[in-house]
Structure 1
């Protein structure tokens, strides 16, 4: 029986180039896809591939680029002290900055889930990312100024310090050379001769500026003693315009108010007094015998000017703190996105099983967030290896060598001393340090896509 006998139409012959042959193709032809990729490929070739290849080539030539030196630039690079300083600082950056920023981002992300004004909090924390690194460096250069009147960091520290231990009333005051005053071990002064009840003593000091004198300061007067007390006067032994007699109270000389005076016997303070507006004081309630009069060091303590943030010791931690301020918002946003993707059923099940909030966070939240935390950490590590602008702007020229990093050293060698060969070798070395982290990141992304 044939198809004609049954009335069933015969099947059409398959086309030789149809799907059945395995040669069919869906989508545009390859040349069209290549055409659309061409601009991106040209961009990568001009701005990525060519600079890398040229840097490798240039690193094999001398500073002027006229003589082939082979690997001499790499040998010089690893025999320079500046390179090892920069490498040491990069190791400190890698060990500290990515971990600190990731932890800060995790804390901020968890906080945003527990506060009512989460959106405003995210905006405030993320806002530094909208500022250029150059501007951020300028901001923190001002924050770290040594003068408390200009630097915010030292202004806060000195405010707390002055609350706990106030500055002395006259930090620059001191006796004249040859005066009957001896300096004590703690920085104060004492009379060389002892005093007894009924005595009147004079204590001349110099080195006091008009700015240190209170507004109610009066002219110094001669002390008048009474039975059972030691009286005295502390004054500025300096006559403006010249003249006057040393260690004698002249008519134009002023007293030193608000100074603490102590009477000491057998190493114990038995009486204290504070000078008045005219510099006079009276130590009362004294028994018979001799006493040593002392001006304690608290009268002359220098004002605390805070920490030397931009000094050789603290310059690298100070810049890392600025880096934390800039990048904490970036870490917070990524980690917050990962937190929102965690199934709430897993967290509720852990709480139902009796887990505390800390146990739920440590045993459930953090393990589920580990892929996001790793992405943030590795990304920050890549950026830390290339850190340049914050170090360049914040570190003063006097301590830039102490804060040096590889990217800054590459720039200084290439454009400071104009040694393009050694600078290119440093660039290649920096690339070799960055590539493993990039490969790790790309492989991780591919595994997650599978």
Structure 2
């Protein structure tokens, strides 16, 4: 009877053991074996492939980025999950909020990568992140509409210090000022700009002038002359400077006309650099310096909901009488959270943190999709480098196998920690 039971048990276990051997044991064994051979797979390379893991600049960058991922991504996702779980515990719409936060988990890494590739797009009209950044920036520091405007050599202006333009001759009362500029695309002109008018005679000792786009579509215009249909540079700021000090300022109207007071007589006309400041286009989220934090942000967006749900389940199992007793004894909410809630949730937090650490070591899709080609080397991680080394240009399966073994060695300590923790929990 005992023998029969063993046969039956073996029969049930055999399919699982075959699959385990074919899908886990054999690939691991072959990867270890292949990692000791050269690119062609015919020559024994010893530990040369493993040396390359710490000498090749691209792979070293991937190792460093993986370290950043392992430290930041699980920690931030777990911390946010804890905060969301605790804050939504007592509010009526907590379930709806948790559902919204958890929804990104239903999205594949591929879809999330495409979403955040668009979110981080450099162009503010497409990238949400830069649309917000530009909106906030322009609220407090409006960009100029004349970023590429400049005078021609025949114009009465010349380049000054710090991106300014200054008049070649001092301002004189009774002499209308001319401020012609070129380099502004007609489509970039203010919508309410009007055809420029010659400066009228100013009342009293005031000095008037005209700032206009000295360009006629189709040609035929004359430089330094306000020709028909040439538009005024509405909003252009002008300054009168004496002895390095600004004594008067004015702003051109829709027809380009501006007026300076009599105190500007004898001063030098200056166009401040703010008139020509390049428009703010936001943050280069996918540039070399921010691409890794940006991708980590997309990962946290996906996995914070997972952490929140698990922590909320653990939070629901905490003895309420213990929390209430602490409050009765005079503990405030922060003290209850720090000294009771977090310590009692430590096993759950450990599960979430370890699970995310293992998951982070395998991250591939987000980096591959979000990072553009120009900064993919800067965002490189081991899983992506494994793919590139094994199947990319000039593929080297020896290097790829060595990276796979390294990933396995990095995962094993985390798995052992988790197994020990589970066994310890089982003994309680």
SS of equivalent to 1:55: helix
SS of equivalent to 2:281: coil
1:99 and 2:75 are equivalent in the alignment: yes
Once residues 297 and 446 of structure 1 are traced to their aligned partners in structure 2, the CA distance between those partners, rounded to angstroms, is 69
Tell whether the 8 Å contact from 1:199 to 1:229 is kept in structure 2 after alignment: no
SS of equivalent to 2:250: strand
Mapping 1:371-450, distance limit 5 Å: 371-416=347-392, 417-450=394-427
2:251 aligned partner: 274
Q: Say which one has the larger Rg.
A: 1
Deviation at residue 334 of structure 1 after TM alignment: 0.8
Deviation at residue 254 of structure 1 after TM alignment: 2.6
Tell whether the 8 Å contact from 2:389 to 2:396 is kept in structure 1 after alignment: yes
1:82 aligned partner: 58
Q: Deviations 1:224-249 (Å, cap 9, x if unpaired)?
A: 33331011111111222223322222
Deviation at residue 62 of structure 1 after TM alignment: 2.0
Q: Deviations 1:145-199 (Å, cap 9, x if unpaired)?
A: 0000010100011011111111113222111135332334343322122213333
Tell whether the 8 Å contact from 2:240 to 2:264 is kept in structure 1 after alignment: no
1:14 aligned partner: none
Deviation at residue 288 of structure 1 after TM alignment: 7.8
Mapping 1:23-42, distance limit 5 Å: 29-42=5-18
User: For structure 1, which runs of at least 5 residues remain unmatched after alignment?
Assistant: 1-23
Note the aligned Cα RMSD (angstroms).
1.9
2:116 aligned partner: 140
Q: In the superposition, relative to structure 1, how do residues 210 and 439 fare at CA in structure 2: closer, same or farther (>3 Å)?
A: same
Deviation at residue 439 of structure 1 after TM alignment: 0.7
Once residues 378 and 177 of structure 1 are traced to their aligned partners in structure 2, the CA distance between those partners, rounded to angstroms, is 68
Mapping 1:285-434, distance limit 5 Å: 286-287=262-263, 289-416=265-392, 417-434=394-411
1:260 and 2:253 are equivalent in the alignment: no
Deviation at residue 269 of structure 1 after TM alignment: 3.3
Q: TM-score, normalised by structure 1?
A: 0.90
Q: In the superposition, relative to structure 1, how do residues 289 and 215 fare at CA in structure 2: closer, same or farther (>3 Å)?
A: closer
Once residues 353 and 112 of structure 1 are traced to their aligned partners in structure 2, the CA distance between those partners, rounded to angstroms, is 24
1:160 and 2:139 are equivalent in the alignment: no
Q: In the superposition, relative to structure 1, how do residues 219 and 289 fare at CA in structure 2: closer, same or farther (>3 Å)?
A: closer
Deviation at residue 404 of structure 1 after TM alignment: 0.8
Once residues 260 and 152 of structure 2 are traced to their aligned partners in structure 1, the CA distance between those partners, rounded to angstroms, is 24
Q: In the superposition, relative to structure 1, how do residues 256 and 372 fare at CA in structure 2: closer, same or farther (>3 Å)?
A: same
Once residues 421 and 216 of structure 1 are traced to their aligned partners in structure 2, the CA distance between those partners, rounded to angstroms, is 66
Deviation at residue 275 of structure 1 after TM alignment: 1.7
Aligned structure 1 segments of 4 or more residues deviating by more than 4 angstroms: none
1:217 and 2:193 are equivalent in the alignment: yes
Deviation at residue 318 of structure 1 after TM alignment: 0.4
Number of aligned residue pairs: 424
Once residues 138 and 192 of structure 2 are traced to their aligned partners in structure 1, the CA distance between those partners, rounded to angstroms, is 23
Tell whether the 8 Å contact from 1:167 to 1:303 is kept in structure 2 after alignment: yes
Q: In the superposition, relative to structure 1, how do residues 388 and 215 fare at CA in structure 2: closer, same or farther (>3 Å)?
A: closer
